[in-house]
Amino acid sequence: MRRALLTLALLGMGAGTAAAQPAKKLLIAIYAPNAPFASGTDQFTFIQRLAAQITSAAGAPAEGKSFARASDFDAAIKAKQVDFAVIDGVYLAQRGVPYSVLAAGTTGGDTAPKWGLFTTAPSIADLQGKKLSIASTGPRDEDFIGNALFDGELAVKKFFAPGLNRAPNVASAVEAVKLNKADAVFAPDSESKGMKSVFDAGRIPNAAFCEVGSHDAALVGKVKAAVLSHGVQAAIDGWKASDAGPYKALAGRMGARTKRPVMAEPEVVKIDVDMLVPPVIEPQLPDLKNQYWNP
């Protein structure tokens, strides 16, 4: 009897210890080289604040982690360490949008800012054979530049100097031009200070907030609501509810362009029959009198 009571007491202590253990923290990651953060420190501060917002508003303990390289970010996801993430819009499109998109980041209230090719050169023609700078994002950077940004109208490898200047983020890519380490850079319009735009590249969607791991729908809803209510003075200043649509559209723009001649049937033109009747011409003798000289 005493042994049975002792066993029950030990089991009760074990259950109490398990109940006292804190819930596992959600890891909120960020990989966004094309977001216009001034530095890696600013990006780290941003994700820490977002994690704190999720902890407070969603009631789910969370911590933030910033990634500077795609390989490290991929490894963390493969190891199932990441629960939710702020993922670069270009990277997301390059990977075929494999994660559930919950929200899109805003800059100045816009989820897809304008991009351009910026330089100190007089025109785009003056950039032939020059060095192009970009934020190194993923395995399809050249498809992004040549097809999505240049719309397939310019062969990047043939036009620019061999070897892109690959920077860890867009701020560093822009700085390379200002320091004369490169001659032109593709970037959001907000990063164009001191340079001129020589090519309008259209709009590119900002980073997205995604569910990376598999979670209960109720938790996902709480986390999404917490993110949508988050706004700070940073490169990403707010959030709007979104789905994968804008990112899949960008992925489609990265595909190779195939130019084919347009086959069109000629339009039938009706000709009035009266126009085919030749005019009546009556023969007449020329006036030769004025052709003779009178002595």
Q: What is the pLDDT of residues 231-263, one digit of tens each?
A: 988 999 999 999 999 999 999 999 987 665 555
Looking at per-residue confidence, does 195 or 279 come out higher?
Answer: 195
Please name the residue ranges forming H helices in the chain.
2-20, 40-58, 70-78, 89-94, 141-143, 156-159, 170-178, 217-228, 245-253
The answer on pLDDT for 9 being more than 90 is no
Q: Write down the pLDDT at residue 257.
A: 72
pLDDT score at 10: 46
Percent of the chain surpassing pLDDT 70:
81
- Dump pLDDT digits (tens) for 65-80: 999 999 999 999 999 9
Contact 211, 152 (CB under 8 A): no
pLDDT(223) > 80: yes
Identify the band that residue 287 occupies on the pLDDT scale cut at 50, 70 and 90.
low
pLDDT, the chain, mean = 87
Q: What confidence score (pLDDT) does residue 6 get?
A: 45
Choose among 89, 88, 94: nearest CA to 67. 88
Length of the chain as a residue count: 295
- pTM for this model (two decimals): 0.80
The residue ranking higher by pLDDT, 121 or 16, is: 121
Instruction: Give the pair of three-digit tokens for residue 39.
Output: 């530095």
pLDDT of residue 289: 60
170 close to 135: Cβ distance less than 8 angstroms? yes
**Residues in contact with 232: Cβ distance below 8 Å, sequence separation at least 6, in sequence order:** 46, 49
pLDDT for the residue numbered 150: 93
- Other beta carbons less than 10 A from residue 110's beta carbon: 18
Which band of pLDDT confidence, cut at 50, 70 and 90, is reported for residue 153?
confident
Q: Which domains does the chain have, with CATH numbers?
A: 23-111+206-253 (3.40.190.10), 114-202 (3.40.190.10)
pLDDT tens track for 15-29:
444 444 456 899 999
Q: Return the pLDDT at 282.
A: 73
Mean pLDDT of 68-96: 97
